[in-house]
Amino acid sequence: MTQDNKRKDRSILITGGAGFIGSNFVHHWCNTYKSDRLTVLDALTYAGNKANLASLENNKNLKFVQGDICDRTLVDNLLESEDIDTVAHFAAESHVDRSIIEPGAFIQTNVVGTFTLLEAFRQRWNNRSQPQSDRFLHVSTDEVYGSLEVDDPAFTETTPYTPNSPYSASKAGSDHLARAYFHTYGMPTMITNCSNNYGPYHFPEKLIPLMCINILLGKPLPVYGDGQNIRDWLYVEDHCRALDVVINKGQPGETYNVGGNNEVKNIDLVEQLCQLMDELAPNLPVSPSKELITFVKDRAGHDRRYAINASKIKNELGWTPQETVEGGLRRTVQWYLANSDWWKPLLSQEYKNYYAKVYS
């Protein structure tokens, strides 16, 4: 936790704060900095969910605004009326499989939306005589670095960008814009490139929640290709703590890689989830749930391996992950078991149509 006695209160705009990581970040920030003011700007797309913030409904320091980051007038008004000095920018189209089916929304939100926010913040920052503690944190992904072979060294902050999907290409474009605004205008942008997150409020389309929910419903567990792809898993609370230290202690103009040092093959991860569910869930429709594992057609352009070298944020800002993958997966499975009221309404007709397109 980053607590500093001399710390000045912030008024922070959190874009995408009703999504998975954004909402976990809002919870983290409200618990940690009780006198900061928070404004959440979220369009409530299929991935946004006000229920993620339900327990904070009566928090006087938190304001929720439904709106689009591409709406320049709205963003200008919010920066002004809420006296914003800090932006934590999470809002994005975030799912690779959706970017393969319909890439347009990814360009609009991830590239045009980020540009809109940067321009609005630049105007305000100039009008405010460029205060020293203002920050614009652009939350990005390790996918911009492309794909690793099994023996390659992990991604560092200087690994060349090689995005392979429309999603990662759109995030790469937005990263370049954020970087350029520091280089050209001196605007205090910072970028974080993080590995795969997991934990509470993760939308059902992503690997871990999808497997948890399908086990509970007795549905097939679709593993793409040969299941040997590797991801570096980070518990979402650890990511939020990393973003906290970057906002409070990071250097403007810098990029920080964030990762869990937890490389796991997809098939091994799915088998761990099956074991946890067999242990923790009463009366599963199919048991052992491992029998549900089904190898399906591979994702187009599927990146083989991601791995993050997080030495810079550890050495310069003192951040390290606290949760192990075993502990984090157990907490996550317990959360999905205890919160069927949260995930059941998300299996909407829109979701079923999407599911049929990807898995048929």
Active site residues: 142-143, 167
d(CA 266, CA 272): 10
Query: Facing residues of 221 across strands?
Result: 293
Residue 94 in the binding site for ligand DAU (CB under 6 A): yes
Residue 21 in the binding site for ligand NAD (CB under 6 A): yes
User: 202: helix, coil or strand?
Assistant: coil
* Cα dihedral value 147, 323, 95, 347, nearest 10: 150
Q: 28 is in the binding site of which of ligand DAU, ligand NAD, none (Cβ under 5 to 8 A by kind)?
A: none
Q: Tell me which residue has tokens 């919870």.
A: 27
Residue 206 in the binding site for ligand DAU (CB under 6 A): yes
Residue 155 in the binding site for ligand DAU (CB under 6 A): no
DSSP code of residue 44: -
Rounded least distance, CB 138 to ligand NAD, Å = 8
Sequence-ordered strand ranges (E) for the chain: 11-15, 37-42, 62-66, 86-89, 135-141, 189-194, 197-198, 221-224, 230-232, 234-235, 255-258, 263-265, 293-296
Binding mask 246-285 for ligand NAD (x = CB under 6 A): ----------------------------------------
238's CB contacts (< 8 A; 6+ apart) are 260, 321, 322, 323
Report angle CA 105, 110, 112 to the nearest 5 degrees: 85
What is the Cβ-side half-sphere exposure of residue 141, based on CA atoms within 13 angstroms? 30
Q: 207 is in the binding site of which of ligand DAU, ligand NAD, none (Cβ under 5 to 8 A by kind)?
A: ligand DAU
Cβ nearer to ligand NAD, comparing 13 with 43: 43
Answer for which of 39, 86, 116, 141 binds ligand NAD (CB under 6 A) is: 141
Residue 229 in the binding site for ligand DAU (CB under 6 A): yes
Rounded least distance, CB 306 to ligand DAU, Å = 5
Query: Facing residues of 345 across strands?
Result: none
Q: Are 207 and 240 in contact (CB under 8 A)?
A: no
First to last CA, the chain: 45
Residue 210 in the binding site for ligand DAU (CB under 6 A): yes
Residue 96 in the binding site for ligand DAU (CB under 6 A): yes
Answer for which of 36, 42, 85, 143 binds ligand DAU (CB under 6 A) is: 143
Residue 70 in the binding site for ligand NAD (CB under 6 A): yes
Q: Are 121 and 88 in contact (CB under 8 A)?
A: no
d(CA 135, CA 149): 36
Rounded least distance, CB 125 to ligand NAD, Å = 21
Residue nearest ligand DAU, Cβ-based: 141
Binding mask 163-202 for ligand NAD (x = CB under 6 A): --------x----------------------x-xx-----
Cβ nearer to ligand DAU, comparing 52 with 248: 52
Q: 203 is in the binding site of which of ligand NAD, ligand DAU, none (Cβ under 5 to 8 A by kind)?
A: ligand NAD
Cβ nearer to ligand NAD, comparing 286 with 346: 346
Give the footprint of ligand DAU on this chain (CB under 6 A).
94-96, 141-143, 195-196, 206-207, 210, 222-224, 229, 231, 266, 299, 306
